[in-house]
Amino acid sequence: MIIHIVAGGPKEYIPDLSIYKEDKNIKWIAVDRGALYLQEFSITPDEAIGDFDSMTEEELEQLRNSGLKLDQFQEEKDETDMELALHLAFEYHPEAIQIFGATGGRIDHFMANISLLYQALQSNRNIPITIIDKQNMAYMTKPGTYTIEKMVDKKYISFIPITKDVENLTLKGFKYPLENRHIFFGSTLCISNELILNHGTYSFSKGILLVIRSSDK
């Protein structure tokens, strides 16, 4: 099973989710206003979670009347709505989690969502989690060797150190290759690279990388 989490970020950043609606292997979790977005794609979420502070009382009542399983929290809480949704997703032990509606709009919300990728990686759950919007997809990786395939619609690939140091970063099959390079938090060395082959590899021995695949539009 793959879990799709749809949050309430600006709708214009969310790709066409209707392409997934016939996939029976997907479980949908809506976060706050994401429940309304899913309805617009003619998708009924399996569950909705959050404080729903971005909805009017009329919209919230509409959700309640639809029979949707609604897990509502107080606005004053220690976790963000997305954090609650991820904890819920982990309970299903999915193969992977994909998150939509988590970019654009407020930068603090976006940075919090990126931080959740780090938290999940550190928890050793070994569940791939990817944040996806119309132009970007982002995920984090621990040390190791990884194969990465060319994507026509997202040709730019950036490697951003999340920890103080990332050691022995090696990029093969890229326009700008690297060999056992040490990069540090704040480095822009590995921004906007491209694959020159149908697939390449990246590897490193220490640290955590945020991998972002992007298009111009």
Instruction: Provide the residue ranges of all domains of the chain, joining segments of one domain with +.
Output: 2-134, 140-214
Name the CATH architecture for the domain at 2-134. 3-Layer(aba) Sandwich (3.40)
2-134 and 140-214 share one fold: yes
Q: What is the pLDDT of residue 110?
A: 95
DSSP 65: H
- Give the pLDDT band (50/70/90) at residue 54: confident
Q: What is the pLDDT of residue 131?
A: 98
Q: What is the pLDDT of residue 77?
A: 86
Share of the chain above pLDDT 90, in %: 84
**Sequence-separated (6 or more) residues with CB below 8 Å from residue 212:** 136, 137, 138, 157, 158, 160
**pTM of the predicted model as reported, rounded to 2 decimal places:** 0.94
CATH of domain 140-214: 3.40.50.10240
Q: What is the pLDDT of residue 78?
A: 87
